[in-house]
Structure 1
């Protein structure tokens, strides 16, 4: 037997999905920011210890960590890109609003991470301090971009989305 939902029930279901999605993004931010702090710490000291002449193991380890981090970031971004960003764009505009800036930040961060991955993969068996620092510099840039990006999401986008949900709830409770 098939049950049909009223418009109000569908709206409640949609609001529940959006609310739980925003809550999930907030939780993921905490986890991702912890991992970002870890890779930032590793990138910051890369090539800086004068007693280390070969940084290949450190670069390989960081490479592995970054691949894992980026997989998590991609999963995190799916809901933002498919649901949250389009929902907010309906109210703020597509080309000039905060979402356009945040999408650009996504691309800049990905570009810097990709540069690190490419650089780290192209290094020879022995990695000099200078090579390690150059590769790590891309991650340092990505960290700055992502830190600012997450801050904007938490201070602008999430409150805006929550206000929109409140407005929708109030509209349908009339």
Structure 2
């Protein structure tokens, strides 16, 4: 298994995206632990379920901010540039962009179904909402792997040096503010 403390990519632009994936994965781990707690053999009480779903909602709301900034970078700068090299109509960029919409859908569905007074939610509705958060985690995890094993290496191999520098200058922004 690769050392998680070492960035794999050489291009500064790809290193930015790779580093953002690591940060987002760290945040995902925090809220995914709550999702997993709902899958234990010992069912949670209604009161404990409500407490945990409130915390899960808070963590996902916090997570959505840097995720949105990261996704915007990819969609406004990275994908359009890479698409000029590999095409836009078919291939890996199409699937990756569809996954962005799928992730947003799962997170949005979770947030929609947990808005309002969580203290009035019943266990079946809580369980359904938590499943959406779990699906978002699964899609995000696979999504990051696809980008890091297919899209990023493709970009490093195909983008010209001037395009790589231009991409870096556009993407060298923080997702944490």
- Aligned partner (choices 115, 120, 136) of residue 121 of structure 1: 115
* Cα distance in 2 between the residues matched to 1:101 and 1:154: 14
Cα 1:81–1:125 shift into 2, 3 Å: same
Q: Report the CA distance between 1:20 and its aligned residue.
A: 2.6
Distance 1:155 1:80 in 2: 16
CA contact (8 A) 1:47 1:128 kept: no
Unaligned runs of 5+ in 1: 1-18
Structure 1's 79 and 157: CA in aligned 2 closer, same or farther, altered over 3 A? same
Instruction: Tell me how large the CA RMSD over aligned residues is.
Output: 2.2
Q: Does 1:157 align with 2:148?
A: no
Which residue of the partner structure matches residue 52 of structure 1?
A: 45
Are positions 1:79 and 2:81 aligned together? Answer: no
| Rg comparison, structure with higher value | 1
Structure with the bigger percentage of helix = 1
Distance change >3 Å, CA 51–CA 79, structure 1 → 2: closer
**Under a length normalisation based on structure 2, what TM-score does the superposition of the two structures give?**
0.77
- Paired residues, number: 151
Task: List gaps (5 residues or longer) in structure 2.
Answer: 1-10, 163-177
Instruction: Determine which of 93, 105, 108 is the counterpart of 1:111.
Output: 105
Conserved in 2, the CA contact under 8 Å of 1:47 and 1:129?
no
